[in-house]
Chain A
Amino acid sequence: MEETFVSKTFPLKPKLKPTSKTSSKTPESRYWSSFKTHETPNLISSVPSITFSGVAPHPFAAAYSASLSLFSPQTLERTHTINSFRDVVSSASFRCDGSLIAASDLSGLIQVFDVKTRTPLRKLRSHTRPVRFVKYPFLDKLHLLSGGDDGIVKYWDVAGENVILDLKGHKDYVRCGDCSPVSSDSFVTGSYDHAVKLWDVRVGDGNRAVMELNHGNPIEDVLFLPSGGLVASAGGNSVKVWDLIGGGKLLYSMESHNKTVTSICIGRIGKEIGDEWMQYRILSVGLDGYMKVFDYANLKVTHSMRYPAPLLSVAFSPDSKVRVIGTSNGIIYAGKRKVKEGAEESSAVGGFLGLGSFSEQPKSRALRPSFYRYFHRGQSVKPSKGDFLVMQAKKVKLAEHDKFLKKFRHREALVSALGKNNPENVVAVVEELVARRKLLKCISNLDLEELGQLLMFLHKYCTVPRHSALLMGLVKKVIDMRAEDIRNSDKLKGLIRNVKSTVQEEILIQQGLQEIQGIISPLLKMAGRR
């Protein structure tokens, strides 16, 4: 039999927004935006270096001002801070076992700390100018690599606090370097003389590099890609990928940043299961505030994110759960990805079963009416294909302003919408009031505090193009009708002043746009004639 019809209540709906066709997210960009950002503000100055420990749970260290802080990867909060520096810390690096950390500062001193006790174990003094990078070679616990403004790359014996090799190939400040992930003897350095040099400590001549690559811009960061055969270098607005095995051939130059690229690191798309998902990406950050994800296998930028400040450093945890970005104004954006517990467990169980031991399945206990879960049984059961679904009528969700509108309490509805932080809803309420011919009455009934709220809203949104036609009219009406109240209250006067300044700003923008239109329209006309 036909379903009986029920009289309906329609909740207020804001106007639809146009959706662009391309905005549907790819799985990859969904992955990259799944890192929920956590802000660590109020560090004293810029954050030039962030580094992750190689052992689980992968804590990370961030250098800022004259201190080095260790962060927990779970809470993304500072756990400890090392302050025994005399100058600004420029770079830090964990040893491969994660128990030691080396840090360099601008006085030219390199110190090695115990991560647990945070005591300086060794002080390496040899650089005469500020040191810009320090790095532990891959799987090598004894040596250290550093470079600085004196243009010399030094290879240290940490235990003895002495320099094994001075590599004097660069003609300008050495800014960065990285050690090969496949060999503990070779490494690359980048310098402001536009050159990336590949060194090998086994080569006797200390001043001649094994290979030299010309980036074309002062180099800010250089990186070995995980295969060990490719190197990425960042400098100017571009990130370039080089093939070392192919004799230093330039593979690709990624130039989608608008300002200098300051730092790059390796990111990994890591779903726990599935081969195609274990892919590496280059994460690059620049002074333009963008973080870009570059797929160097397909030579494509796959994701791009904007931050509200110039970015200086980026790091990605080896277990691909945490992504940390440091800015020039002392904020660290640490992003953590939620990992489904179920996925972890299932993979663990899979491994367990994979061992071949036949474990007994955990028996699910039969539900009895004395159990709490008994009363919730079957609620999450998915219907199978042949099942006949008896649909329950969906309950209409009414917001607070809807309830007020239903009771014809118009002023309360407007105030309640203003109180919530959703401009679309406020506009929808205003439109509904217009349709009910009650808006003007409503405005005249607002008390001073509510009027202030309304003016604050108008100050913020009256020039938004989507709503300006309605809201500018509303501003005029509010000023007309409540002129007396506004004159008597200093607070409201201030708000009106704010509204005025936004309107003036908007007028300037519109004038600028009209000028541009004036320039473009003849061109378009000419193009149309052809």
Chain B
Amino acid sequence: MIRGGRSYVSTSPAFSNDAKRLLVCTGSTVSIFSTLTGLQVASLDGHTALVTSVIVVPASSPGSRILCYCWTSSLDGTICYWDFSVPEMIKKIDVHLPIFSMVIPTLLKTPADSERSSDLYAYISAQNINKSERPKPLIGQLRKFNLTKSFIGGITLKETQRPEIITVCPSGRFFGILSKNKLIIWKVPDKESDQAILKKIVLHHTKKFSVLAFHPSQRLVAAGDVTGRILIWRGFGNKTFGKPMKYDEDNPGVRGDDDAESCSTWHWHPTDINVISFSSDGAYLYSGGTEGVLVVWQLDTGKKKFLPRIGSPLLYFVDSPDPTLASISCADNQILLLKMPYLGIMKSISGIKLPFYAPEAFKVMCAGYAFDRAGVVALRTEDFHIQIYSLLNDREISEVVVCERNHQPADEITVVVTLVTLSQDGSVMSTVEVRLPEEDIGGLTCLKFWTSTSQNNQFELSTVIYEPHRDSHVSSVAFRPNRPMAVTTSESCDFKLWVCNDGTHRKNELKPSSGWVCYAVGSYKRRPLTAAAFSGDGSVLAVAADTAITLWDPDRNELVGVLGNTLGPIKALSFIGQSEYIVAASGGPKSQLSVWNMSQFTISWSYMLQVEAVASDQNSSTFAVLALLPKSVIQSKETTFVGRDGIILLFDVKQPQPVASWSVTKAEGGGLAFVEANQLEDDISPGTRKHGLLAFINGQHEYVLFDPFNDQELVEHSVLVRKSPAAEETVYAGYASLYGELPEFDWKKNQKAASEVVIMPSERPWETIFSGSSHTLPPLTKLCGAFLEALLQKRPAAVEKS
């Protein structure tokens, strides 16, 4: 079983101390990526719920940079301590409360700052599970936690309506949270103990805050609000936290009695701010928001520099210990690694694209995913791309720009790629994009065909067809197996067959004239056509005409037969493998799953099910259905379906009883497909495999691949991390890139080594005997004898071995 498609951007990532690795929280695991290759190298498995924060133990001295320890907190109520170079778990502490955020300020303090107390304290933002009497329950709690002795400190610092995210000062002296339009800052006591009292101040604003950051060295805090303003308080907490230096009453910009010297406002962002971060030297402030532009402010002058067109809302900005590297997490599940002083995008780590929320007008037109048999899924993204994602490797293969338009993340969505279909071998793709009209003018539907040039799945545009069905939308596209033919259906009562006139290489012309042209047009009783499918061998075309299924001969464009009526308009059609059955899923108030016998033109059996997706196996007579559970079942709190809203049913076409069933979460907007598992041969038992794997992708684009005939249960815990084939490579910079790594110079050791260069007995002396620089080698006469001797002795053994 393979799981994947997790979000990389649920919380902010963390760099390792040498900045060569990036720790990213991915669901219940922490994935470790190499910053040089952008590929995953390891993962930390041990939590059972979403990991909410990861804190790398900083290196206190340059020598300890290679140390790889980190703390993680999770919603399952545990805090873990890891050595992520191995990777293995060192310690697991149970807090018994779901932790939403955790900071450990003591780690950040330099040893000179204060002599370390024996215990390590963390401040956690947790959810209080057992308190719900009050009308407005304050379920969020901010508490102190002794990591060494693993028990919760006596005091609760603050109770909030929701668990808040804690932000800590890079020097470890302050931490704070946002609470609507208030900013609450605590000072970490110099001498930590269980009962130490924390002083706090509150800063006010008129708008709701969205993000907060502390200056690394000065007493300066910056916060962004939902209207795009950045507020910067200088000298906060002078009164409360000590340092009573000057007491002029004139505090420009500071609201009310707030304890700060001055407050200034910067306003450039048109939308809410998600990212605020100071550079490590404190000279610059980075900010970013929904509009996808990273702004670099010079802190003293307020001058701006931009990194525009990131294309997606920014979520987190993380500086690394290496001053030339930083990372941005974008809302489209992508982490960009920036080359720092000049803001160049060096590498991108992209996960599966997250679903986007199209306006209502598009909802009816959009249809999910396109799978090909080799385990590749094509997903539509918000910025008019198609992401080709490999399910087996859990990695993006490529992205195709469908519509060459500049995407503005903050704008209203008016152009959407509504349909994507892959041909069975994955060599041809078709996309449909729709531009909504502005008060009835300027709407456009555009059908595009793409061909893959080679094995690397780089798609190139082959044909563009504007308004394939006049002004009505395309309701479905299907490819014919084994032949370059496609069918599009529309609500305007006609379907069109398209053929690719490929292969007609004209002489005298260098490039073949390939393109898709309309081959035939058909319609059935002026009914809107909603779905289409080709049979497995491509000889029959089934087109759903509202409630009826019409069967056509695609070559001659003749109506062969009509199968009777379903209860509602048909949403999806699928031929079942080699059998003579066809399955139809209809929507409407009386949604139905019906199986039809094509030879007898009768309904075989049917269920009243709200079907989300249908997939059939090519080589057998089984098919799988993803159905939404009815409301009554979800509310009945039956134990089997707690927290689940969908069910996958596996049927054999001969009998209406399902062969197997699995309940799933977030089934709405999900997809289902059978995938051939040839690539998985190495880690699956060599037993003869007849069926493919079943791939299920849920509404959040998390997916799972499993063998529907062996693993009878979707076990939650087993997580398979596929080792990336490309190992981490080391790249040297500066001097090292020219001359290689300098050897550690150790005088004593060298002395010793020089004296110790004697013939060392080893398994294969002829390999090592001449190694080393020539001046350290013993005289040749001495060596030669040993060398020959070694050869004479070892040769027979070597022969035996081979």
Contacts and interface: CB of A to CB of B under 8 A. Distances in A.
Interface stretch (B151-159, B407-415, B706-714, B756-764): B407-415
B344 A4 contact: yes
B414 A10 contact: no
Interface string B396-430: 00000000111010011011000000000000000
A385 interface: no
Interface string B335-370: 000000000111110000000000000000000000
Contacts of B513: 21
Interface stretch (A35-43, A305-313, A468-476): A468-476
Interface string B305-321: 00011110000000000
B344 A8 contact: no
A102 B660 CA distance: 103
Interface in B274-316: 308-311
Given A431-B444, A477-B441, 20 more contacts: A4-B346, A4-B347, A5-B345, A6-B344, A6-B345, A7-B345, A9-B406, A21-B513, A24-B509, A430-B442, A434-B437, A434-B442, A434-B443, A435-B414, A435-B435, A435-B442, A439-B438, A440-B439, A473-B441, A474-B441
A436 B435 CA distance: 10
Interface string B439-459: 111111000000000000000
A441 to B, nearest CB: 10
A437 B466 CA distance: 21
B308 A7 contact: yes
Interface string A8-42: 11100101100001001000000000000000000
A22 to B, nearest CB: 11
Interface of B: 308-311, 344-348, 404-406, 408, 411-412, 414-415, 435, 437-444, 464, 466, 471, 509, 513
A431 B406 CA distance: 13
A13 to B, nearest CB: 6
Contacts of B311: 7
B778 to A, nearest CB: 43
A406 interface: yes
A440 B412 CA distance: 16
Contact of A10 (B347, B406, B408): B406
A7 B309 contact: yes
Contact of B415 (A2, A435, A474): A435
A44 B722 CA distance: 86
30 contacts: A4-B344, A4-B346, A4-B347, A7-B311, A7-B345, A10-B406, A13-B404, A15-B466, A21-B513, A24-B509, A431-B444, A432-B405, A433-B438, A434-B414, A434-B437, A434-B438, A434-B441, A434-B442, A434-B443, A435-B405, A435-B442, A436-B408, A436-B411, A436-B414, A439-B441, A470-B441, A470-B442, A473-B442, A474-B442, A477-B441
B405 A10 contact: yes
A8 B308 CA distance: 10
Contacts of A431: 435, 442, 444
Interface of A: 2, 4-10, 13, 15-16, 21, 24, 406, 430-437, 439-440, 469-470, 473-474, 477
Nearest to A477: B441
A405 to B, nearest CB: 8
Nearest to A475: B441
Contacts of B466: 15
A457 to B, nearest CB: 15
A437 B442 contact: no
Given A4-B347, A431-B444, A440 B438 contact: yes
A425 to B, nearest CB: 15
B441 A9 contact: no
Contacts of B438: 433-434, 437, 439-440
Contacts of B435: 431, 434-435
Contact of B442 (A2, A16, A439): A439
Nearest to A469: B471
Given A435-B415, A436-B414, A473-B440, A9 B347 contact: no
Contacts of B412: 437
A433 B405 CA distance: 12
Contacts of B437: 434
A475 to B, nearest CB: 10
A437 B414 contact: yes
Nearest to A6: B345
B233 to A, nearest CB: 32
B414 A7 contact: no
Contacts of B439: 440, 477
Given A431-B435, A435-B414, A4 B441 contact: no
B464 A16 contact: yes
Contacts of A474: 441-442
Nearest to B38: A2
A30 to B, nearest CB: 14
A414 to B, nearest CB: 13
A367 to B, nearest CB: 33
A53 to B, nearest CB: 40
A430 B441 CA distance: 10
Contacts of A8: 309
B311 to A, nearest CB: 6
Contacts of B348: 5
Contacts of A7: 308-311, 345
Nearest to A432: B405
Contacts of B346: 4
B185 to A, nearest CB: 36
Nearest to A8: B309
Nearest to A431: B442
Contacts of A440: 438-439
Nearest to B440: A473
Nearest to A473: B441
Tell which of A430, A435, A439 has the most Cβ of chain B within 10 Å.
A435
B39 to A, nearest CB: 11
B340 to A, nearest CB: 14
Contact of B345 (A4, A21, A435, A477): A4
Contacts of A24: 509
A276 to B, nearest CB: 16
A10 B384 CA distance: 12
B416 to A, nearest CB: 11
A440 B308 CA distance: 28
A21 B515 CA distance: 11
Contacts of B347: 2, 4
Closest 8 CB pairs of A and B: A434-B442, A473-B441, A7-B309, A10-B404, A434-B438, A435-B414, A435-B415, A470-B442
Contacts of A473: 440-442
Contacts of A406: 406
Contacts of B442: 430-431, 434-435, 439, 470, 473-474
B344 to A, nearest CB: 6
Tell which of B310, B347, B441, B444 has the most Cβ of chain A within 10 Å.
B441
Nearest to A21: B513
A449 to B, nearest CB: 23
A430 B437 CA distance: 12
A434 B513 CA distance: 34
B334 to A, nearest CB: 11
Nearest to A471: B441
A517 B491 CA distance: 25
A138 to B, nearest CB: 40
Contacts of A16: 464
A197 B114 CA distance: 122
A66 B471 CA distance: 61
A38 to B, nearest CB: 33
A495 to B, nearest CB: 20
Nearest to B407: A10
B152 to A, nearest CB: 46
B291 to A, nearest CB: 11
A439 B406 CA distance: 17
B269 to A, nearest CB: 14
Contact of A9 (B309, B345, B408, B443): B309
B450 to A, nearest CB: 15
